[in-house]
Structure 1
Amino acid sequence: MAEVQVTDSGRVTSRVGDTVVVRLPENAATGYVWSVASLGDGLLLEEDSGSPVGSLSGGAPGEHVVRVQAEEPGTWHIDLQLARGWEAGPAEEKRITVEVS
């Protein structure tokens, strides 16, 4: 089992048992936070959390980390949304494709 980092391409190849890690820039002080909108059936969510990078001062940029375990072979998607909780729709959407062998 290995930890596989997702790059800017939004596509990653892994093996069953690997942990796939997605890191996204986030500044929760603006109200915008990333969340997992949907997850492929062959993936298991292990972590979905945001945290400041470096300084803990207000307005400091942060990072949102999503970790999933590849459980079944196939092509699966992680759909992510950047949104404010009080707004109707997301400001940004991102799809990560995970190919598991």
Structure 2
Amino acid sequence: MNKLIGFCAASLLAVISMNVNAADPEPPMGHGRMLEQADTNHDGKVSLEEFKAAHEKRVEAMFKKIDANGDGFIDKDEMRKAREAMHERMHERMEKRQGMHDQMHDTKPQ
């Protein structure tokens, strides 16, 4: 059971960290912006509690997105589908980047 919980938690974190698209509740945060928003006591540092609070909203949104049937649980099928969707988005981004790279090289004078 602990292995399953660990696997689900790791998978959820992987999906959360890799899911950077327009459907996200907010755009990914750069280091400076994350520090600024998460540092609620303005001491120039982010504690674990501040970090958790800053990401709680995003984690909840991702959980709800993965929990396709809305039952409050993520099962193997939902996790598989979320992982497949993540891989598809990654593949699309890679193709787009490759196309941009190819276009840059095609337009360079020789």
Question: What TM-score do you get using the length of structure 2 for normalisation?
Answer: 0.22
**Greater RCO, CA 8 A, separation 6+:** 1
Structure in which a larger fraction of residues adopt helix: 2
Question: What TM-score do you get using the length of structure 1 for normalisation?
Answer: 0.23
**Which structure would you say has the larger Rg?**
2
Structure in which a larger fraction of residues adopt strand: 1
